[in-house]
Amino acid sequence: MHEEFPTDSPAVVTCGLPYANGDLHVGHLRTYVSGDAYSRALDRLGQSVAFVCGSDMHGTPIAVNAAEADIDPETFALEYHEQYERTFPKFNVEFDNYGHTHDETNTEMTRSFVRSWIDGDHVFEKEIEVAWDAETDQPLPDRFVEGTCPYCGERARGDECDDGCQRHLEPGEIEDPVSTITGNPAEYRTRPHKFLRLSDFQTYLQGFIERLEGTDNAKHQPREWIEGELQDLCITRDMDWGIDYPGEGQEDLVLYVWVDAPIEYVSSTKQYSDRVGKAEYDWDAVWGDHSGPESTVPEGGEIVHIIGHDIIQHHTVFWPAMLRGAGFNEPRAVMACGFVNLAGEAFSTSRNRAVWADDYVESGLDPDLYRYHIVTGSEFTADVNFSWDGLQERVNSELVGTLGNFLYRSLLFAERNYGGTPDADTSEEVETRIEAATEAFREAVNDYRVRGLGRVPVELAKFGNEYIQRHEPWKLTDDEPERAAQVIRDCVQLSKAIAVLMEPVLPGKAERLWTQLGEDGSVADADLDEALSSPPATFGEPDELFERIEDDRVEELNTQLEERVAAAESDTGSEEDGSEDSPELKPIADDRIGFETFQDLDLRVGEILRADPIDGADNLVKLEVDIGVETRRIVAGIKGLYDLETLPGTRIVVVANLEKSELFGVESNGMLLAAGEEADLLTTHGDAKPGTKIK
C-alpha cells in the first residue's frame, strides 16, 4: 500500500512523550534510543526526515505531585522537562525539535484541533457521573481516583488499567472508587462534559487499520476495538491544570491530557519547520494541509510513531480519529516496543530498584554501549532485560570481540603496511557481501525492525573476521604482495561499510571510525551508497574503538544497585507496591517428603542478642543468638535490609543442626529462617521461650 522508504515526501519520526513527573531510568530510554536509531536509519537511506518529541506536562499525576510538593504544576513539570532535555543528548538521542505540551505552539494547535471538531459537529455535551471527594468537595479526575477495572477486575488507577488489561477507562467506569486525596470512598456526582464522537470515525478507522504499517502488535491489537462499538471519548476534565476547553460556556473545564499530548507531535514538527524554514523542511507537507474536504485523507508525508506497547490504543484509535476530525494526514506506521526489565524483574521506582539515566552517565560507560544492548537485546516488540552483567557480556563478545577486533586489526594492518587504503580493487565476494548487508539494512527499515539495524554491522564484521582468517594477509605480504593488498583493500572497504551501517545504533563510535578512516565531514551525512565508495588513500594509526568491561567494574555497579535497593527497603520498612513488583511465585515443589525427613531438622526459637556488621562483607551481619541451651553465632545476609540496632530482642527461627560454615572468616553456627528477597524474618506469634523446639 505504502511506497517503500525512501520516498519523495518528507517523513517525521516521533516518540511517545515522556511524562514530566520523575527522573528517567534506562527502561524509559528504550523508546527514545529506538526512535533515534530508526530516524537516523531513514536518513542513511536518503529519506528526508525530522525526529521530534516533547515533554507531556499536563494531567493529574503532575497536578497531584505538584500539590504534594507545594509548588505550582507548571514549575514542577518544567523542571523535569529541562532535565529530559539535558539527558537525551547524553545517550546520543538527538531530536530535531523537543518542545512541551504547555508551550504556546501546542496550546494554540490543540485549541485549533478542538475547534475543528466542534465545527465538524463531532463534539457533544453529556451529563456524566464523575467521582467526587465529599470531604474536600472536589471532583476526582483520572489519577485522583483508584478502584477496580470493570473489564478485567484488576486494581486500576484513574483512566488506565495499567496492571491489568491496559484499557483506557472513561470517567465513571472505575468500580469501588476511592479518593487518592483523602483515601475515602468516592461518591459519584453528575457533571456536564464534552465528548468526541468516535463513532463518526468508525468506518474511517476500519480502513485506516488496513493501511497502517509498523509492528504486528500495533496493527492487530486495535482491531477488536475498532470492529466493536466505539465508545465516545470524554475530552474534558474538572481541573485547573491543562489547556482550557476552547468552546463556549465551559471555561471551568480543561482538555483531557490525551488530547493535547499527541497533538504535540504536530506542534513539535511545526516548531522545527518554523526554525529551519519550509524550504528545508515543510511541516504542512507531512501533516497535510488540513483544510481540504473531510471525505479524503489529505496528501502528506510519512508519519511514524514509536511508542511503548501500553499506549497502542491511543495511537491507533483515538489519535487517527482526532487527526481525521481536524483534516490532518494519518500515521503511516506505529511501532510499539516491549518494556525493559532490570535483571529479570520490573523496574520499581518506589523501591529505587532502577538504573537511573544519571547512574549510567556517571558509570563513565559510553552511551553507545547502552544503545547497542537495548536495541539488539531482544526483538523490538518483546520485553528486553537490562543488567550490568548482560551489558558486559554483549559488549565484550560482540562489540569488542567481533566488531572492534575486526576494525582494529584491519585498519592497523592497512596503516602499517600501506599508510592507508592499499591501491587495489575490492573483490567481487566482498562487494556482494556489502551489497547484501545494505539490502538487509534497507529491509530492516522497511519492515520496522529496529533490532536488525544493530545486527547488520556486527554480522558484517563477523564475516570480515572470517575473511581475514581465511586469507591470512600477514603471510602474503612478502610472496604475494598484490594479493595481500587486495585482501586489505577489502577489509578497509568492509570497515567503511560498517561505519555507515552502524551509525544509527552506535552514532558516536561510527563518527570516530569515520575519522579514523580519514573521511571528511560526518558519517551522519553519508548515504548508504557510501558503503561501497572508495575510502581515502591515507589515514593515520587507528586506536581501539571499544574497551572490555572488566568483572570488578560490573561487581561495583551491581553492588551500587543492591545497596540502593536495600537502603530504600529499610527506609520504607517494606515494599510500597507489592503487586507491581513481586516476582512471580514459584510453583510448589513436586517431590513430597516424609514427616521423618522434616523431623531431621532441629528448628528452635531464638532471640537475637547482638547484631554487628562484618568487615569487607557488603550484605552480611554477625548475630549472637540465644537458643536456650546455648548462645550461637550466626552469619546472615540481611545487612541493609534491617537497621542493626533494632535487631536485639527480636525472636527468630533458627535451624540449629545445620553444618557449620565459614563466611568472610567468621564461623556461622546455624541458620535463621527468612522469607523472600527482602529476608522477612520468621518469628513466633505468642511467647515461646528461646530454645523451644518447632514441630
Least distance between Zn ion and beta carbon 175 (Å): 11
Q: Is the dihedral of CA 358, 361, 364, 366 positive or negative?
A: positive
* Candidates 134-142, 152-160, 339-347, 384-392; binding stretch for Zn ion (CB under 5 A): 152-160
* Candidates 165-173, 245-253, 483-491, 565-573; binding stretch for Zn ion (CB under 5 A): 165-173
**Candidate residues 41, 62, 149, 255; the one interacting with Zn ion per rule CB under 5 A:** 149
* Candidates 143-151, 254-262, 396-404, 513-521; binding stretch for Zn ion (CB under 5 A): 143-151
CB nearer to Zn ion: pick between 163 and 282: 163
* Candidates 31-39, 163-171, 437-445, 608-616; binding stretch for Zn ion (CB under 5 A): 163-171
The number of residues in the chain equals 695
Q: For cell 505538584, what's the residue?
A: 66
CB nearer to Zn ion: pick between 308 and 508: 308
φ, ψ dihedrals at 138, nearest 5°: -145, 155
CB nearer to Zn ion: pick between 148 and 417: 148
Least distance between Zn ion and beta carbon 19 (Å): 20
φ, ψ dihedrals at 613, nearest 5°: -70, 160
| Cβ burial 595-623 (10 Å sphere, 16+ → b, else e) | eeeeeeeebbbbbbbebeebeebbbbbbb
Instruction: Return the percent helix, strand and coil in the chain, to nearest 5.
Output: 45, 20, 40
* Candidates 162-170, 275-283, 349-357, 543-551; binding stretch for Zn ion (CB under 5 A): 162-170
CA distance 602 to 599: 7
CB 634 within 8 A of CB 625: yes
Subset of residues 377 to 406 that bind Zn ion, contact rule: CB under 5 A: none
CB nearer to Zn ion: pick between 164 and 628: 164
**Candidate residues 7, 23, 115, 151; the one interacting with Zn ion per rule CB under 5 A:** 151
Neighbouring residues of 159: CB distance < 8 A, sequence distance ≥ 6: 142, 143, 168, 169, 170, 171, 258
- Per CB under 5 A, does 165 bind Zn ion? yes
- Per CB under 5 A, does 175 bind Zn ion? no
CB nearer to Zn ion: pick between 148 and 560: 148
φ, ψ dihedrals at 360, nearest 5°: -65, -45
Least distance between Zn ion and beta carbon 153 (Å): 7
CB nearer to Zn ion: pick between 149 and 461: 149
* Candidates 14-22, 25-33, 54-62, 164-172; binding stretch for Zn ion (CB under 5 A): 164-172
* Dihedral angle, C-alpha 497, 503, 504, 509, nearest 10 °: 140
CB nearer to Zn ion: pick between 22 and 164: 164
3-state secondary structure of 292: coil
Least distance between Zn ion and beta carbon 187 (Å): 23
Least distance between Zn ion and beta carbon 163 (Å): 8
Subset of residues 569 to 608 that bind Zn ion, contact rule: CB under 5 A: none
CB nearer to Zn ion: pick between 164 and 637: 164
CB 69 within 8 A of CB 76: yes
The β-bridge partners of 322 are none
φ, ψ dihedrals at 58, nearest 5°: -100, -170
CB nearer to Zn ion: pick between 169 and 407: 169
CA distance 449 to 561: 32
CB nearer to Zn ion: pick between 312 and 461: 312
| Cβ burial 302-318 (10 Å sphere, 16+ → b, else e) | bbbbbbbbebbbbbbbb
* Candidates 158-166, 264-272, 426-434, 574-582; binding stretch for Zn ion (CB under 5 A): 158-166
User: Which amino acid is located at 403 in the chain?
Assistant: L
Size of the site for Zn ion (CB under 5 A): 6
Least distance between Zn ion and beta carbon 581 (Å): 19
Least distance between Zn ion and beta carbon 229 (Å): 18
CB nearer to Zn ion: pick between 149 and 322: 149
- Per CB under 5 A, does 150 bind Zn ion? no
Least distance between Zn ion and beta carbon 162 (Å): 9
* Candidates 151-159, 315-323, 391-399, 683-691; binding stretch for Zn ion (CB under 5 A): 151-159
* Candidates 30-38, 141-149, 396-404, 500-508; binding stretch for Zn ion (CB under 5 A): 141-149
For 348, 353, 387, 389, the CA distances from 583, given in Å and listed in that order, are: 12, 13, 16, 20
* C-alpha cell read off for 67: 500539590
CB 467 within 8 A of CB 413: no
Least distance between Zn ion and beta carbon 173 (Å): 10
Least distance between Zn ion and beta carbon 315 (Å): 19
Least distance between Zn ion and beta carbon 152 (Å): 3
CA distance 56 to 76: 12
CA distance 53 to 266: 9
CA distance 476 to 550: 36
Nearest to residue 165, comparing CAs of 176, 179, 173, 155? 155
Task: Identify whether 6 is preceded by a cis peptide bond (ω within 30 of 0).
Answer: yes
**Candidate residues 69, 152, 567, 629; the one interacting with Zn ion per rule CB under 5 A:** 152
Largest CA distance in the chain: 93
CB nearer to Zn ion: pick between 175 and 251: 175
DSSP state of 15: E
CB nearer to Zn ion: pick between 258 and 408: 258
Least distance between Zn ion and beta carbon 164 (Å): 3
* Dihedral angle, C-alpha 309, 310, 315, 319, nearest 10 °: 180
Least distance between Zn ion and beta carbon 577 (Å): 17
**Candidate residues 22, 120, 164, 246; the one interacting with Zn ion per rule CB under 5 A:** 164
* C-alpha cell read off for 511: 563518527
* C-alpha cell read off for 56: 507531556
Nearest to residue 408, comparing CAs of 513, 481, 504, 489? 513
Least distance between Zn ion and beta carbon 227 (Å): 19
CB nearer to Zn ion: pick between 149 and 403: 149
CB 141 within 8 A of CB 166: no
* Candidates 101-109, 160-168, 336-344, 566-574; binding stretch for Zn ion (CB under 5 A): 160-168
Least distance between Zn ion and beta carbon 177 (Å): 15
CA distance 83 to 78: 8
* Candidates 29-37, 131-139, 147-155, 529-537; binding stretch for Zn ion (CB under 5 A): 147-155
CB nearer to Zn ion: pick between 165 and 629: 165
Subset of residues 261 to 290 that bind Zn ion, contact rule: CB under 5 A: none
CB 325 within 8 A of CB 259: no
Least distance between Zn ion and beta carbon 165 (Å): 3
**Candidate residues 45, 57, 140, 161; the one interacting with Zn ion per rule CB under 5 A:** 161
CA distance 391 to 554: 9
Residues in the site for Zn ion, rule: CB under 5 A? 149, 151-152, 161, 164-165
